[in-house]
Structure 1
Amino acid sequence: MAEAKTWQPVALVKDISPDTQTLRVTLDGEAVCLYNLQGRICATQDKCPHGNASLAEGWVEDGTIECPLHQGVFDISSGKPQCPPVTTPLRCYDVRVEDGTVFLLGDSA
């Protein structure tokens, strides 16, 4: 039987840095990167699938995130790789924002 998914609070929108536009949080023991794209909150896995790098330390531009390790670029909304050396897509998470709190859909505790 599949485990039920529940909305879990992980951060406040105001905690996502306006400079980097990213924030690393944890959901179900996994690192997740939150993005504030001009008021639209998105979430992907934090670890780049190409190398052991945190995407929260990367650079956001035009709806993409550039990995700080090998400069691979991903589309934040879809997780799709945009250029070499990355070829594996990022896991994207369902996001909900209520009263300034960011919720992600995760396994129930």
Structure 2
Amino acid sequence: MVLGAACFEISWVIGLKHATGFLEWTGTIVAIVFSFVLLIRSSANLPVGTVYAVFVGIGTCGTVLADMLLFAEPFRWPVILLIGLLLIGIIGLKVVTGTTNHLKKEEGE
């Protein structure tokens, strides 16, 4: 769900920059709603800090890469290296936090 939320985030960020007509703005608003619904649902089962870090990290990486691939932003190695570093941090957070529900652990289940 976090990956889906991040994909919708990439869509709405691009929409905010490039939407000009009614359909484009409608798609942007729909992407915002789906993005946050998926984000909220995923935080019910995963630690909120990890969910948000993964959401923002993937959204940032995807937005930068989409800008390069779709909108002719110049390719720069420092940007790619920093995105790689960001992805390593996201993966590290996922590995050390796991996927258990912390509320259930505290309740003794």
Give me the TM-score of the superposition, normalised by structure 1: 0.26
Q: Counting strand residues as a fraction of each chain, which structure ranks higher?
A: 1
TM-score in terms of structure 2 length: 0.26
Structure 1 or 2, whichever has the larger Rg, is 2
